[in-house]
Structure 1
Amino acid sequence: MKTIILVGGGHSHLHCLKKRIENQDDNVKWVLISPSRFQYYSGMFSGYTEGIYSLEETRIDLEKLCAEAGFEFVERTVLSIDPDQQHLLTDKGDIFTYDFVSFDIGSRNDSLEIQGLHEHNLPIKPNYRFPEQIEKLHKSRKTVFIGGGAASIEMSLSLKAWKIDNGFKDHLVTVVHSSPILEKAGPYSSRKITGVTHSKGVELYQGRVKKVDETHVFTEDGTSIDYDEFIFLGGPKAPPLFGSNILPTDEKGFLMVNSYLQSVEYPNVFGTGDCATLKDFPDTPKNGVTAVRQGPVLWKNLNGAAANGKIIPFEPQKRYLAIMSVGNKQGYLTYGSFSLVSGLAWRLKNWIDVRFVRRYGG
């Protein structure tokens, strides 16, 4: 009997769990290893921050889903992988042996380039740390977000909306960004979301952060911004797991995979979502849309590889629909160069997010 181990409860692995419920067989032993019983859905982080969703509405019970799918669930953190011996080592000292392994463990939010960041950052990844961190943000009188991407803007706007709704209009929410906001969406969309962010009461400061201490964020131009809590959301960083073994990675430390989602040197090692980079499409966005679309390909390829059968390539989309919450049940929708701010966009996002969690038993 072949053993397939899934490490992490990300979007692609959730698809595999659901498909296993529909396609039970006794020829493969499936195992899911995750540091938490619950997988929190990042698409609803902003809504939870704003108070729209309860904690239970944002999470998926992996242990329950594994029981339905005939998986063995192991609540551990994988610390290292030996791809030659096909072993995984966990934080509890367990060693798991696999025939095939897949990683869907997301990314981390920090930066080695900013002095003091690791000591003072309020990380919301891994996702299971998210709820306790939001409590701290709700209490914070001065919150600073570092980063000009979608995650930083969405979280800052949602937090500001919660502050206003709960009578804390005097609490400051600031975003420090080195590049134009949502720069990859194009100049028109960038200007548009900048105006929305200003109108919602979030303060913007363009500058590159070089240092953080216990009370202040310092930029390269000499500006200092005081804070009670700050979060670095400056884009995905590679998880440390791949930095300590011989699996090939890209220059940033993400697992390097081919179009079949296999390690470029170890075909029985797979990777999807934020933790992996496609060798032939290195600029593919590391976001939930990509991870969701990789799910069906991963499921077919894990089963195909285990049966010495057919595997198929993953083809990234050139354009995709993206919606972020901008507070007060308004959404900012982009598709290519098109963008729209409206309540209808938020309702569409809400429908997509709620449907996703409910599909997996949330």
Structure 2
Amino acid sequence: MNALEIRNLTKRYGKTTALNDVSLVVPKGDLVVLLGPTGAGKTTLQRLVAGLETPDQGQIMINGEDVTGLQPNQRAVSMVFESLALYPNLTAYENIAHPLRTQGMEAREIEAKVKELSEILHVSHILDRKPASFSGGEKQRIAIGRALAKPAGIYLLDEPLSSLDAVLRSQLRAELKRLLSASGHSIIFATPDFTEALALGDNVNVMMGGQIVQSGTANELYSAPSTTEIAQFVGNPPINLLPAQIQCTSGKTEVQVSNLRFGLPGVGDDAFTGDVLLGIRPEDIGVSVVGNTQNSEKNAHVVDMEPLGNRTTLMLELGGISFSASVETEDDLEAVSSVTVDLDPNRFHLFSTEGKRLH
């Protein structure tokens, strides 16, 4: 029996369709990630599961029970909101303990559970304080602890790290992954951050426009995005999408981009031809700071560069097209005005001009 089954769920607000025929299965003990930009439908989906919204169509099953028409307090669901709704008049201890008290748990068991969660989340030192004195990160930790303390069939985490600074977010993400992996809970984690999705979930569902448009591991979404929209959203710096042409001559399929032509491994001569979009990840572009006069057609002009710690993003121009490359930072990059680029056709992504993946 699955922890959660969402069947053909649709939700409209007036003329706006927030969710359009969404189906999703969360096996027991799995952490499932919803990845998508703001407005994709992630929060709406979680609110429907929690019972805070009513679907226009579809069915919600939790542990085999149809809960579609039940009130929130009749569902075995616990949710962490992005807005962090802590009880301001209660200490951190009491905030975490509150759902346990409402379940009628004995005081000794409550104390043991709060101690366990507070140690994992590194908030033991603030258990006797109230939320007004907490930092943003401490509030996040207490909210997560309170949600995970509540016995539930499904746990919903709605962008719980989004308001943290980058350093604290990275630290808590690592702690949260460890906690969730050890808990055995069934969890839906919503985030707009691909890095977060990559770190947390093997089962990632990309949401766009109120639909789940692709599911798979984070690596699958990165290496084989089904559309240009997903390709641009997954990965940083964003993928380069360049106008190109596919040509088949003498039994050989080639792609031409600007004045460069490459053979396409694994593409037969009966494949697609004509105009395409060529996707190249910036980190898949090799760069040499020493121009090669014998291969001048691969010499690109450096338009701009953005140092980002141990990597640098180069904005390049070659044969009338502009693209970016992400390379390891080196001292001799600073004064360079042109570089030789090396492109590996095995790393190419081919899309139709309408944005659908071809190869």
Which bracket does the TM-score occupy, shorter chain normalised? under 0.3
Highest CA radius of gyration, 1 or 2?
2
Q: TM-score, normalised by structure 2?
A: 0.22
Q: TM-score, normalised by structure 1?
A: 0.22
